Amino acid sequence: MKKKDFVTLIMSVVGGILFALGMCMALIPEWGALLPGIVTGVTGAAVLLAMLLIRRKMDGKPAIVFNGKTVGATLLGIFGAVVFGMGMCLVMVWDRLILGVLVGVAGIVLLLCLIPLIKGLK
């Protein structure tokens, strides 16, 4: 295994676990840990962002190239994740199963739109 792959693996696992745990802490009312959950989730997101920047640096690529396509894909990804998360909240927190599933599926569709946007169609 190459060094860059190992670093990516470790940082991805740590960031993903912190982010997922933070989401659970914030979204499960019985835990009563909204603020610590937000802090943990933001920490996980920061580790994942740092992993992206470190991986690109180890590949010899520029950190992030800003152009219209990158900004649009980022906004679509954020919007799709928020819609998907809202569907999860509707199901898990507010007991709105049908509406939550429909909103969650809409979020999944938005996230799936990223594939042709980023990779293109051949």
Both structure tokens of 36 = 């610590």
Question: Which of 64, 79, 94 finishes a domain?
Answer: 64
| Range(s) of the domain holding residue 119 | 66-122
The answer to whether residues 111 and 78 belong to one domain is: yes
Question: Which of 41, 64, 87 finishes a domain?
Answer: 64
Higher pLDDT, 60 or 20: 20
Question: Which of 64, 80, 97 finishes a domain?
Answer: 64
The total domain count for the chain is 2
pLDDT tens, 30-86? 888 999 999 999 999 999 999 999 998 888 888 777 889 889 999 999 999 999 999
Q: Average pLDDT, stretch 16-42?
A: 91
Quote the DSSP letter at residue 95.
-
For residue 20, what pLDDT is reported? 94
- Percent share of the chain, pLDDT over 70: 100
Q: Which residue type sits at 86?
A: M
Quote the DSSP letter at residue 96.
-
Q: Average pLDDT, stretch 102-115?
A: 96
Long-range contacts of 17-20 (CB under 8 A, 24+ apart): 17/44, 18/43, 18/44, 18/47, 19/44, 19/45, 19/47, 19/48, 20/44
The answer to whether residues 27 and 40 belong to one domain is: yes
The answer to whether residues 57 and 74 belong to one domain is: no
